[in-house]
Amino acid sequence: MTPTTAPPLGWYDDPTTAIPRTLAMLQYTSWFNATGNPAIAIPRAVVDGLPVGVQLVGRHGSEAELLALAEAIADPSLPSRSNHT
C-alpha cells in the first residue's frame, strides 16, 4: 500500500517546479507501468479538504484479488471518477 495525497490547486502552475514536482508524484506509480504489476488507487479519506488515496499493487495475474480488496476497503461516500459529478 502506498498512501497518496492530491496536490493543492496551483501546485503545477510554476513552470520552474512543475517537472520536479511531477516526478516526485510519479516515484511510487511509474514502476508498476514498467513491471506490469496490476495496481489501483482508491480514495480513502479527506484531509484539509484534499482527498487522500491508497495505491494497492498486486502480483502478476492477481487482478481479481486486487479489485476485490479495493472494493472491500473503498469508502463509497468519498468522491471517485465513477461517482464524480
Q: Residue with C-alpha cell 514502476?
A: 31
- Cα angle for residues 84, 37, 68 (degrees, 5° grid): 50
Confidence tier at 60 by pLDDT (50, 70, 90): very high
Indicate whether 24 pLDDT > 50: yes
Question: Is residue 58's pLDDT more than 60?
Answer: yes
User: Which is higher by pLDDT, 12 or 68?
Assistant: 68
The residue-averaged pLDDT of 26-41 equals: 83
pLDDT above 60 (res 1): no
Q: What is the pTM of this model?
A: 0.63
Q: Which residues contact 58 (CB under 8 A, 6 or more apart)?
A: 37, 38, 39, 65, 66
| Residue 36 CB partners (closer than 8 Å, separation 6+) | 60
Starting at the edge strand that comes first in sequence, how are the strands of the sheet with 50-57 ordered?
2-5, 50-57, 39-47
The pLDDT, as a whole number, for residue 6 is: 66
Where residue 79 falls among pLDDT bands split at 50, 70, 90? low
Neighbours of 45 (CB within 10 A): 13
